[in-house]
Amino acid sequence: MYRSSRLSPRFGLTGVMLVLALVLASPAGAQNVAREKAVDRLNAFASEMLKNRPHFIGYPVNQDTELEGFYTWYLKSGLYEAAMNNVGDPFKTSSSLLNSHSFEKEVIDYFAPRFGFHKDYWGFVTASGTDGNNHGVYFGKKVLQAKSNLPPIAYVSEEAHYSIKKLADVQGIELRLIKADPMGRMDLADFEAKLDPTRPALVVIAMGTTFKGGIDNQMGIDAILKKVAPPAVHRHLDAALFGSILGFLPPPASDLVNSAKMGFDSIAISGHKFWGLDEPAGIFIATKHVRDNINPFQVAYLKDAVPTITCSRSAISPLKLWWKITFSEPNVFEKQAARLIANAEYLHAELQKLGIKSWLNEYSNTVFFQRPGQAVMDYYGLAPDVHPEQGELAHVLVMQHVSKDLLDAFIADMKKDFGK
Ligand SMILES: Cc1ncc(COP(=O)(O)O)c(C=O)c1O
- Give the pLDDT mean for 95-122: 94
Domain assignment present for 349: yes
pLDDT at 46: 97
The number of the ligand 1 atom at minimal distance from the alpha carbon of 206 is: 1
pLDDT at 13: 67
Domain assignment present for 171: yes
Q: Tell which wins on pLDDT, 296 or 311.
A: 311
Q: Are residues 83 and 220 in the same domain?
A: yes
Whether the model clears a pTM of 0.85, i.e. scores above it, the answer is yes
The number of the ligand 1 atom at minimal distance from the alpha carbon of 238 is: 3
- Give the pLDDT mean for 182-211: 98
Domain assignment present for 142: yes
214 in contact with ligand 1, CB cutoff 6 A? no
- Give the pLDDT mean for 257-269: 97
> What residues form DSSP beta bridges with 392?
386
Q: Are residues 226 and 372 in the same domain?
A: no
130 in contact with ligand 1, CB cutoff 6 A? yes
134 in contact with ligand 1, CB cutoff 6 A? no
pLDDT at 21: 72
Domain assignment present for 59: no
Domain that holds residue 41: 13-54
Q: Answer yes or no: is pLDDT of 301 > 80.
A: no
Q: Answer yes or no: is pLDDT of 64 > 60.
A: yes
Q: Are residues 215 and 322 in the same domain?
A: yes
CA distances in angstroms from 117 to 149, 258, 288, 325, 392, listed in the order given: 29, 8, 10, 18, 40
Q: Are residues 117 and 235 in the same domain?
A: yes
- Which of 290, 309, 327 is a domain's end point? 327
Q: Are residues 171 and 142 in the same domain?
A: yes
To the nearest 10°, the Cα dihedral for 235, 237, 238, 243? Answer: 180
Residue nearest (by alpha carbon) to ligand 1 atom 8: 129
CB 68 within 8 A of CB 84: no
Domain assignment present for 8: no
Q: Answer yes or no: is pLDDT of 184 > 80.
A: yes
Q: Are residues 213 and 270 in the same domain?
A: yes
CATH number of the CATH domain containing 295? 3.40.640.10
Q: pLDDT digits over 142-165, tens only?
A: 999 999 999 999 999 999 999 999
Domain count for the chain = 3
Q: What is the mean pLDDT of the chain?
A: 93
Q: Are residues 403 and 272 in the same domain?
A: no
pLDDT at 1: 47
> What residues form DSSP beta bridges with 186?
180
- Give the pLDDT mean for 8-37: 74
- Which of 276, 309, 327 is a domain's end point? 327
pLDDT at 26: 81
pLDDT at 4: 47
Distance 215 CA to ligand 1 centre (A): 14
Q: Answer yes or no: is pLDDT of 94 > 80.
A: no
Q: Are residues 117 and 246 in the same domain?
A: yes
Enter the DSSP assignment of 331.
Answer: T
Distance 71 CA to ligand 1 centre (A): 26
Domain assignment present for 4: no
Distance 209 CA to ligand 1 centre (A): 9
CATH number of the CATH domain containing 341? 3.90.1150.10
CA end-to-end span of the chain? 43
Distance 270 CA to ligand 1 centre (A): 7
CA distances in angstroms from 91 to 237, 303, 304, 316, listed in the order given: 22, 14, 11, 17
- 328 in helix, strand or coil? coil
Q: Answer yes or no: is pLDDT of 416 > 50.
A: yes
Q: Are residues 111 and 188 in the same domain?
A: yes
Domain assignment present for 1: no
Q: Are residues 161 and 300 in the same domain?
A: yes
210 in contact with ligand 1, CB cutoff 6 A? yes
Question: Confidence class of residue 97 from pLDDT cuts 50, 70 and 90?
Answer: confident
- 63 in helix, strand or coil? coil
Instruction: Give, for ligand 1, the residue of 126, 157, 238 to mutate: max count of ligand atoms closer than 8 Å to Cβ.
Output: 238
pLDDT at 12: 66
Count CB neighbours of 283 within 10 A.
30
CB 275 within 8 A of CB 109: no
- Which of 312, 327, 342 is a domain's end point? 327
* Residue percentage of the chain with pLDDT more than 70: 92
Q: pLDDT digits over 352-378, tens only?
A: 999 999 999 999 999 999 999 999 999
CA distances in angstroms from 262 to 179, 265, 286, 372, listed in the order given: 22, 9, 13, 39
Question: Confidence class of residue 28 from pLDDT cuts 50, 70 and 90?
Answer: confident
Domain assignment present for 130: yes
Q: Are residues 317 and 350 in the same domain?
A: no
Distance 182 CA to ligand 1 centre (A): 20
Question: Confidence class of residue 398 from pLDDT cuts 50, 70 and 90?
Answer: very high
Q: Are residues 269 and 285 in the same domain?
A: yes
Distance 238 CA to ligand 1 centre (A): 8
